[in-house]
Amino acid sequence: MVFTLSVEPTQTNSQRSLGRVLVVEDEELIRETVALSLRDEGFEVIAAEDGRMIVDLFHQQDDGSDRSLDSIDAIILDLMLPSINGLDLCRWLRQKGQTVPILILSAKGSETDRVVGLEVGADDYLTKPFGVRELVARVRALLRRNRYPIPPSNPSVLRIKDITLFPQECRVIVRDQEINLSPKEFRLLELFMNHPRRVWSRDQLIERIWEADFMGDTKTVDVHIRWLREKIELDPSHPEYLLTVRGFGYRFS
């Protein structure tokens, strides 16, 4: 194994952890210093010297393992890492619909690097050398911002390619961006994503989405589909998600 895994002993209820933080940093001195400081403050820390730990944890999600990425409350991520670089990891996690807060650590301090870090979906950015107190304060802030997260393990979260839909929160993320949908558009998308590949006729969609308050004709469905495409498709005139099935209706793929 290339990475090291060090986890604090299980804590009792009286000293409950403030959160579980994954620290990915190849420089041992920095990694150990950060891990120690966070543990002193009451965080549980998983320390890794390689980004592959993140990929491994991500893949453990389906097993319901308590060592999966779902159990992580925040990630502190170095940019210059062996094998997979931090920016690529960050971008990859966001593409997978992961909302775990990420703080990037880097020796690179230029404005450009900072902007790129935030653009790939990091929540915060700290330049080396940094004070551990500032780091701890920022981790606390990250966790406060994320105090009421929908657990990504929630089976009702729908994720297809670059679209993630959170039914209980009525939120939709498309290519890392949150989009605004009307209630009808949201329910349409939710229905489609719940039944990928199923073909829906316009009448079936009216029955499911509009119910008794339906006032228009089947063209109303087409109009809503067009609006939805404009919000979710990269190229609405050549849809990749919401496809027309000629003579039948629509399907989501």
Which chain residues interact with Ca ion by CB under 5 A?
26, 78, 80
CB of 114 to Ca ion, least distance (A): 17
Give helix 183-194 / helix 219-232 axis angle, nearest 10°.
80
- Quick one: 28 or 207, whose CB is closer to Ca ion? 28
CB of 50 to Ca ion, least distance (A): 10
**Rounded Cα distance, 172 and 176, in Å:** 10
CB of 21 to Ca ion, least distance (A): 18
DSSP state of 61: G
Residue closest to Ca ion when measured from CB atoms: 80
CB of 25 to Ca ion, least distance (A): 6
- Quick one: 102 or 172, whose CB is closer to Ca ion? 102
- Quick one: 80 or 160, whose CB is closer to Ca ion? 80
DSSP string, 184-214: HHHHHHHHHHHSTT-EE-HHHHIIIIIGGG-
Lay out the sheet containing 171-174: strands in order across: 158-160, 163-166, 171-174, 177-179
CA 109 to chain centre: 25
- Quick one: 31 or 224, whose CB is closer to Ca ion? 31
- Quick one: 49 or 70, whose CB is closer to Ca ion? 49
**Rounded Cα distance, 193 and 199, in Å:** 12
CB of 79 to Ca ion, least distance (A): 7
